[in-house]
Amino acid sequence: MSVPLLAIRDLTVRYQSNDGAVEALRGVSMRAEAGEVVGIVGESGCGKSTLVAALIALLAANAEISAGTVELQGRDILRRTAAEKRALRGAEIAMVFQDSMTAFSPVLTLGTQLVDFQHNLPNLTRQDKLARAKTMLAKVGIADPALCLGRFPHQLSGGMRQRAAVAAALLMSPQVLVADEPTTALDVTMEAQILHLLRSLRAEINGTILIVTHHLGVIGELCDRVYVMYAGEVVEEATVDDLYHAPRHPYTRALIDCDPAHLATRTAVLPTIPGRPPSLVSPPKGCAFAPRCTLADAQCHSIRPPRVHISPSQAALCHKVAL
């Protein structure tokens, strides 16, 4: 089996907080191949933000990677020196943030910044870099790239800024493009356009795209494979079709049921998942979802569930799947 482009193995991250050690990630494993779009979906507190921070090595000072590795083409990227990590960012892993306004410096023009982003390409002149930037802006659907290069970020609309942020990430020809809630801050009609853009750019990227979001609709529109996270763990992984049409983990099922876009007929009373995710200061002994799960029994509350492989592409962390 070939080495996957990105492999996260058993990643465990702890934060020191006023209330004690919080286990934000508990043994997370994922992989992504070149040419794939992989989705990571979960709600608040599931650990996806910590995962993204760990990937680009921007974890907070009070965070500690207690176990696990992140490998890019077989090489561990977590345990590198600060200088190596700096070189890594942008060139190998690039990121598109949720808030495009803070992705750019407000006091420099877009052109200056886009040229700056290419600092890892030493053999190009400034003119070359500007030309590349202009081409990339056109590729992301900006109508007048030359004009846009001379503008400041606050002079662009939200949609244009997000497109520019995607262009900035692509300019480095990264192997992994991580998009963290790429459309959450946008209007619905602009969201559709950015999703369309990301889909069309698959051909541009030789590597892999990771979409991290809480929105199942974004996952459905963009991804090939999906990881569902809950309470710091991956509770299900599947192809996007299997995830939606044949989910095997009770949380995944409940999550899909709650999505109002999924409900075919009008219902006055919307389904919810009662309760709250568990506190990660003292992680639960058994299954993290057991207190909220309709199928849970004594075993679920006391013993950690196994990872059951339903098919080569689908797995769920649950006692009840095996039955």
Partner 1 sequence: MSALFEIDNMVVDLPLDRGLLAAFGAARRRLNILTGVSLSIGHGEMVGLVGESGSGKTTLALAMLGLTPISGGRLVFDGQVLDSARAFGALRRSTAMMFQDPVASLSPRMSVGALLYEPFIIHGLKPANRRDKIVALLEQVGLPPEIASRFPHELSGGQARRVCVARALALEPKLVVADEPTAGLDVSVQGEVLNLMTELKTRLGLSLLIISHNLAMVRHVTDRVAILYLGRLVESGPTAQVFANPRHPYTASLIAAEPQPDPRKRSQNLAVMGEIPSLFDRPQGCEFHTRCAFAQAKCRTTAPELRKTGERQVRCHFAETLDLNNRRVTHGMEH
Partner 2 sequence: MSFEGEASLAEALPPKRRTAWRALRRDPMGMTGAVLVGTFVFLALLAPWIAPYDPAKIDVLNKFQSPDWNHLLGTDHLGRDLLSRIIWGARVALGIAITATGVAGAIGLILGLIAGFGPRWLDAILVLLFDSFSSLPMIMFALAIITVLGPGTQTLILVIVIISIPGYARLIRAQTLSLRMADYIQAERAIGASSARIILRHLLPNVVGPLVILLSMDIPVVIMLEAGLSYLGFGVKPPTPSWGNILYDGYTSLRAAPNMVIVAGAPLVLCTIGFTFLGEGLRDALDPKLKLRVRR
The 193-212 contact track toward partner 1, x by CB under 8 A, reads x-xx----------------
Comparing CB distances to partner 1, the nearer of 121 and 273 is 273
Q: For partner 1, which residue of 121, 138, 258, 295 counts as binding (CB under 8 A)?
A: 258
Mark the segment that binds partner 1 (CB under 8 A) among 114-122, 201-209, 263-271, 278-286: 263-271
Contact 305, 229 (CB under 8 A): no
279 binds, among partner 1, partner 2, none (CB under 5 to 8 A by kind): partner 2
For residue 100, how many C-alpha atoms fall within 13 Å in the half-sphere facing its CB?
Answer: 26
294 binds, among partner 1, partner 2, none (CB under 5 to 8 A by kind): none
18 binds, among partner 1, partner 2, none (CB under 5 to 8 A by kind): partner 2
Q: What is the largest CA-CA distance in the chain?
A: 67
The verdict on 147 binding partner 1 (CB under 8 A) reads: no
Cα end-to-end span (Å), the chain = 30
| Contacting residues toward partner 2, per CB under 8 A | 15-19, 22, 24, 44-45, 62, 274-276, 278-280, 291-292
Mark the segment that binds partner 1 (CB under 8 A) among 6-14, 51-59, 91-99, 248-256: 248-256
Q: H-type helices in 172-258, by residue range?
A: 188-200, 216-222, 240-245, 250-258
Q: For partner 1, which residue of 8, 205, 254, 321 counts as binding (CB under 8 A)?
A: 254
Cα–Cα distance for residue pair 308/72, rounded to 1 Å: 26
Cα–Cα distance for residue pair 34/2, rounded to 1 Å: 11
Q: How far is the CB of 183 from partner 1 (least distance, A)?
A: 8
Amino acid at site 139:
K
Structure tokens at 302: 């006391």
Q: How far is the CB of 231 from partner 1 (least distance, A)?
A: 13
- Cα distances (Å, whole numbers) of residue 44 to 3, 50, 62, 113, 204: 32, 11, 20, 32, 32
The verdict on 52 binding partner 1 (CB under 8 A) reads: no
The verdict on 267 binding partner 1 (CB under 8 A) reads: yes
Burial per residue of 263-285, b for 16 or more beta-carbon CB atoms within 10 angstroms, e otherwise = eeeeeeeeeebeeebbebeeebe
Q: How far is the CB of 3 from partner 1 (least distance, A)?
A: 28
Quick one: which H or E segment has residue 302? helix 298-302
The verdict on 215 binding partner 1 (CB under 8 A) reads: yes
Cα–Cα distance for residue pair 213/218, rounded to 1 Å: 7
The verdict on 187 binding partner 1 (CB under 8 A) reads: yes
Q: How many residues does the chain have?
A: 323
Cα–Cα distance for residue pair 272/76, rounded to 1 Å: 40
244 binds, among partner 2, partner 1, none (CB under 5 to 8 A by kind): partner 1
70 binds, among partner 2, partner 1, none (CB under 5 to 8 A by kind): none
Cα–Cα distance for residue pair 28/51, rounded to 1 Å: 9
Q: How far is the CB of 291 from partner 2 (least distance, A)?
A: 8
For the purposes of burial, counting CB atoms within 10 Å of the CB of 219, is it exposed (0-12), middle (13-18) or buried (19 or more)?
A: buried
Comparing CB distances to partner 2, the nearer of 16 and 313 is 16
The verdict on 101 binding partner 1 (CB under 8 A) reads: no
Q: How far is the CB of 127 from partner 1 (least distance, A)?
A: 30
State the residues that interact with partner 1 by CB under 8 A: 43-44, 157-160, 183, 187-193, 195-196, 214-221, 223, 240-241, 244-245, 254-256, 258-263, 266-273
